[in-house]
Amino acid sequence: MQDLIGRTLLDRYRIVRFIGRGGMAVVYEAWDEKRAATVAVKLMHEDLAEDAVFLRRFAAEAQTLASIDHPHIVRFLGFEEGRGLAFMVMEFVNGVPLRRQLSLLGRPLTLPETLGVLQPVCGALHYAHQLGIYHCDITPANIFIDQGGKVILGDFGIALLGESATVTFSTPGTPAYMSPEQSLGGRRLDGRTDIYS
């Protein structure tokens, strides 16, 4: 999908550059002509956008993000569907994932640096948990540090709402960071799975 660079989606979002790829979607930096601002566009893979089950899951992620308003959680700006496309528009975080930051440092974080990441992430999770939303994929790849040093939690792609927090199909998540109950699948999950990760 990198051939989208330079194209404008739905006559509004001009794709500037490729950012990353996940299991369900590709993320691009884009220019929003209407907002006159840089945004992140999370574009569902074309083959999945034609599958009603995956499209519902993607729309559910958008609905989950729309209910969240916290300074350390990536801001949701909208969900777009049309012309064979389905994508979310989110705040563009001008920074790097914690995973890349750790790689660039070439050393473990100091205790103050670790607390500087954990405190905002824990605050964001506490807020989400109070809403009955569980992230279920807390990893260094989903924690971003912007150029000002602000820590932002992103990618609620497999987040579960409290009432539906039972994994019944293939277990989503990143195996190295999964809680035991999450890796077993079919078990009731709650905020403890995020704390474990």
Is 3 one of the catalytic residues? no
Structure token pair of residue 134: 């569980």
Structure token pair of residue 55: 């499209």
Tell me how long the chain is: 197
CB 120 within 8 A of CB 147: no
> Among residues 11, 47, 137, 190, which one is catalytic?
137
CB half-sphere exposure, 16, CA atoms < 13 A: 12
Which residues 6+ apart lie within 8 Å of 108 measured at CB?
A: 102
Catalytic site positions: 137
